[in-house]
Amino acid sequence: PSLPPVVMWRPAGSHATRIACCFLVNLLLRSDVLAIDSTGMPKFGEDLNNVTVPVGREAIFVCNVEGLATYKVAWLRVDTQTILTIHSHVITKNHRIAVTHSDHRIWFLHIREVREADRGWYMCQINTDPMKSQQGYLQVVVPPDILDYPTSTDMVVREGGNVSMQCAASGFPTPNITWRREGGSMISVSPELNVMAVNGPWLNVSKVNRSHMGAYLCIASNGIPPSVSKRIMLIIQFPPMIWIPNQLVGAQEGQSVTMECISEAYPKSIDYWTKDKTTIISNGTKYHTELLDNAYKTHMKLTIISVTFSDYGSYQCISKNSLGDTDGTIKLYAVPKPTTTTTTTTTTTTTTMTSTITSITTTMPSTTVLWWTTALPKKSSKYGGRAPINEVDWMQSSKKTGKHQDATVTNKRESTEDQQSSRTAAAAGDNNRQPALSKKRKNGSTHVHPGRGVTADWIIIMIIIITVQKIFLL
C-alpha cells in the first residue's frame, strides 16, 4: 500500500517570510518516479498577475503551468503562511476559498466575497525539488463611506459668528473630501473670498450672515464608485428685519388696494398687520392677508376690499421672533376722483358790448387750475389812441400771499384810444388831472395794474386761452 501525498510547511529563517513545501511520496520508491530527470520538470507558462477587486466581489488568481505530469499544484497565503488548496482539494476551513483547473494546465484560485482582510500576497507552488513558485498581490479597494463621527451634523450659528464644519470618510485608497453648496452657488469663506468648492476635511467660514444659510455637501471620492456625500444644513439665527417697497399708497374710495412688506428672520417669525398700531387685522370680508414663505424671508400682503373713508390712515406690518421684533408703517391716503366743472366769464367793453364765454375744465386730482382777469390800461400818447397788445405775460397768483402778480404788456405802437384820451385831457387844460396810468420801462414795456377798464382786445385773449385749454384737454 502507498500513502497519499502529504503537504508539510515550515518557516524558512527566523522571520518566517518563506514557505517550504515538500511532498512525501510512496515509501517504496517506484521506478517511474526515479526515471524522471530534470529535463522533464514542469514550469510556469506566465507570471502570476496581481489582482485588484472591490470589497464584496470575487477575486480570481490564474496560474499557468506547463508539463505538470504527476506533480501537484498548491495555493498558499504568504503573509499568514496558510495552505489553501492542494491540487483539486481545499485545505483551509475558509468556505469562501475554491480551486478549479482547466486540463491540469491552468489553475484558478477563487476568493468569494472579498474582505479587506484578504488583502495581501498569494502563492502558486509546484511540488518539485527544489520547489517552484510565483506570487501575486490581492488589492482590495473600498468605495468611500462618510463616517457619522466625527462628521458634523446640522449647525445653528448666530449671525456674525464663525463656523467650522468637519467631514470624515473611510475607504481605500484614502478618499478625498470636497465641500460644495447645494444648488451650485458660491461659498463665501470670508468677506473677501468666494469660491465654488473647498478641498479638505474642514470648511471654515468667518463672520457668517444670513446669505450663508443653506445646505452644504461634503463629497468623498477615491476613484472607486460610487462617490458619496452628506448634506449638512447651516442655520443662521438673526432678529427680524422688514423691507417696505412702498411706504405711501394711494387709493380712491370704492377701490381695492394691496400693501406689501418683506420680513427676514430666523427662527421663523410671527407676522401680522395692525391699523393705527392698535387693531390687529385678520382675514374677513374687509381684509385679506397673505404670507408667502421662502427660506428665511416672508412676503406679507394686506388687501383692503372696497376702500372707504375710514380706511385711510397708517398700517403696520409687524414681525417677531425669539431674538427680537420690528415693524414697518405704510400710509394709505385718499386719491380724489377726476371732476368736471363749468366756468362762465362775462366781460363788458366801453362800447356797451357784452360777451359771454363759457369753458369746460376737467380737473385732475393732482392739479388745480386757477384763472383770473386783468383789465388793460389806457396809455397817453402824443398821437392819442390805445396801443394794440402784442405780448402778454401771465403770472399765476402766489399761493403763499394770495396776491395776484402784475401783467406785463409790450406795446409796438400807440393805439387810437390813447390818442383820444390825450386830446380830451389837453382840451380840459388840466395837466394835473392827467392820470398816471403807466410807467415806461427801459425795454419799452408797460407795467400795468389790474382792475382797470376792459377793452375789446381782451376778448381776443380769452379766445386764445380757451383754444389752448381745449388743445390740452384733447
pLDDT tens string 315-353: 999 999 999 999 999 999 999 987 766 555 555 444 344
Residue 23 lies in a domain: no
Q: What is the CA radius of gyration of the chain?
A: 54
Q: Which strand ranges, in their side-by-side order, compose the sheet holding 408-410?
A: 391-393, 408-410, 445-447, 439-440
Nearest to 165 by CA among 118, 231, 105, 120: 231
Residues 180 and 249 in one domain: no
Count Cα atoms within 13 angstroms, Cβ side, for 203: 32
pLDDT tens string 250-278: 999 999 999 999 999 999 999 999 999 88
DSSP assigned state of 116: G
Are 170 and 144 in contact by the 8 Å Cβ rule? The answer is yes
Phi/psi zone of residue 270: left (φ > 0), alpha (ψ -120 to 50 degrees), beta? beta
Compute the average pLDDT of residues 138-162: 96
Cβ density class 420-443: b for 16+ within 10 Å, e for less? ebbeebeeeeeeeeeeeebeeeee
Q: What pLDDT is stored for residue 347 in this prediction?
A: 52
Which carries the bigger pLDDT value, residue 431 or residue 89? 89
Residue 9 lies in a domain: no
Task: Please determine, for residue 443, whether its predicted confidence score (pLDDT) is greater than 60.
Answer: no
Residues 366 and 294 in one domain: no
Our measurement of the distance from residue 342's CA atom to the centroid of its chain's CA atoms, rounded to an integer in Å, reads 57
CA distance 165 to 230: 12
Residues 119 and 61 in one domain: yes
For the record, the C-alpha cell of 461 comes out as 385773449
CA distance 218 to 16: 45
**Residue position matching grid coordinates 505530469:** 69
CA distance 364 to 252: 13
Residue 416 lies in a domain: yes
The set of residues, in sequence order, having a beta carbon less than 8 Å from that of 162 and lying 6+ positions away, is 204, 205, 206, 207, 208
Residues 346 and 469 in one domain: yes
Are 222 and 171 in contact by the 8 Å Cβ rule? The answer is yes
Residues 212 and 151 in one domain: yes
Residues 214 and 184 in one domain: yes
Dihedrals φ, ψ of 166, to 5°?
-120, 145
CA distance 474 to 470: 6
- Domain boundary among the residues 334, 365, 386 is at 334
Residue 17 lies in a domain: no
**Burial bucket for residue 288 (CB in 10 Å: 0-12, 13-18, 19+):** middle
Q: Look up the pTM and report it.
A: 0.57
CA distance 242 to 262: 6
- Domain boundary among the residues 238, 268, 285 is at 238
Residue 13 lies in a domain: no
Dihedrals φ, ψ of 344, to 5°?
-115, 125
Length of the chain measured in residues: 474
The set of residues, in sequence order, having a beta carbon less than 8 Å from that of 93 and lying 6+ positions away, is none
For the record, the C-alpha cell of 209 comes out as 450672515
Compute the average pLDDT of residues 214-237: 96
Total structural domains within the chain:
4
Residues 126 and 177 in one domain: no
Residue 445 lies in a domain: yes
Which carries the bigger pLDDT value, residue 432 or residue 284? 284
What is the DSSP code string of 112-130?
A: -S--GGG-EEEEEEE--SS
Residues 214 and 255 in one domain: no
pLDDT tens string 390-418: 333 333 333 333 333 333 333 333 334 44
Residues 168 and 119 in one domain: no
Q: What pLDDT is stored for residue 425 in this prediction?
A: 40
Residues 379 and 364 in one domain: yes
CATH number at residue 177: 2.60.40.10
Residues 122 and 220 in one domain: no
- Domain boundary among the residues 219, 238, 257 is at 238
Domain containing 290 equals 244-334
Residue 223 lies in a domain: yes
Of 36-40, 199-203, 367-371, which one has max mean pLDDT? 199-203
Residues 104 and 216 in one domain: no
Residue 21 lies in a domain: no
Which carries the bigger pLDDT value, residue 183 or residue 446? 183
